[in-house]
Amino acid sequence: MRGKQHNSNVGAWDGGLFTTLKGDKIVPEFIKILDDYIDSHYPSRHGGRSRRGV
């Protein structure tokens, strides 16, 4: 059973361990990884970022 002081860690994988996200900013860091991946693999039809920035 975990105690009250729990450290959040999650691994992000891309065929192998890409990075480990830690702390209170896991969600925005993960969204940035997703946005960067999408930008690099799927060109925008509108010539720029069509999704929200974080």
Note the pLDDT tens digit of each residue in 1-54.
455 566 678 777 777 888 888 888 889 998 998 898 889 888 876 665 555 554
State the Rg of the chain over Cα.
15
Looking at the structure of the chain, the number of domains it has is 1
Q: Does 43 fall in a domain?
A: yes
Do residues 17 and 33 lie in contact, with contact meaning Cβ atoms separated by under 8 Å? Answer: no
Residue 19 lies inside a defined structural domain of this protein:
no
Q: What is the pLDDT of residues 29-38, one digit of tens each?
A: 989 988 988 8
pTM recorded for the entire structure: 0.58
> Per the domain annotation, does 12 fall within a domain?
no
Q: Is 31 exposed, middle or buried (0-12, 13-18, 19+ CB in 10 A)?
A: middle
Which token pair is 22?
């830690």
13, part of any domain: no
Domain that holds residue 54: 24-54
Strands, E, within 1-54: which ranges?
9-13, 17-22
